[in-house]
Amino acid sequence: MKQKKENLESKIKKSTTLSKACLLGIAAALIFSTYQAISSVRKNNNKKEFYASMSYKEVIEYVKTPKQAEEYIQVYLEPNISGAFVKSFKRTHEERKADCADATVAAAALLSDNGYEPTYLLMASKNKNGKMSSEAHAVFIYKEKGKYGTMGINLLDNNDPRFSSLDDVAIFFEYDFYSCGKMEEKVIPDWISTQRNLLISKTELQKHNITQDKMHEVHNPGCPLK
* CA distance linking residue 19 with residue 222, whole number of Å: 59
Instruction: Indicate whether 194 and 105 sit together in one domain.
Output: yes
**Range with lowest mean pLDDT among 14-28, 68-82, 178-192, 193-207:** 14-28
Instruction: Indicate whether 10 and 101 sit together in one domain.
Output: no
Give the per-residue pLDDT at 209. Answer: 81
Instruction: Indicate whether 80 and 117 sit together in one domain.
Output: yes
Instruction: Indicate whether 41 and 112 sit together in one domain.
Output: no
Instruction: Indicate whether 150 and 123 sit together in one domain.
Output: yes
Of 1 and 75, which is predicted with more confidence? 75
Per-residue pLDDT band for 185 (boundaries 50, 70, 90) equals: confident
Instruction: Indicate whether 41 and 73 sit together in one domain.
Output: no
Instruction: Indicate whether 29 and 104 sit together in one domain.
Output: no
Q: Which domain holds residue 48?
A: 1-53
Helices (H), 53-192: 56-62, 66-76, 89-95, 100-110, 166-172
**219 torsion bin: left (phi>0), alpha (psi -120 to 50), beta (else):** left
Q: Give the distance from CA 42 to its chain's centroid.
A: 21
> pLDDT tens digits, residue range 63-118?
999 999 999 999 999 998 877 899 999 999 999 999 999 999 999 999 999 999 99
Angle between helices 2-52 and 66-76 (to 10 degrees): 100
Residue 136 backbone dihedrals phi, psi, to 5 degrees: -140, 165
Instruction: Indicate whether 81 and 145 sit together in one domain.
Output: yes
**154 torsion bin: left (phi>0), alpha (psi -120 to 50), beta (else):** beta
Instruction: Indicate whether 6 and 65 sit together in one domain.
Output: no
Instruction: Indicate whether 36 and 68 sit together in one domain.
Output: no
Q: Work out how many domains the chain is built from and give that number.
A: 2
Asked, for residue 127, whether it belongs to a domain, the answer is yes
pLDDT beyond 70 at 195:
yes
Give the per-residue pLDDT at 176. Answer: 93
Bridge partners of residue 104, in order along the sequence: none
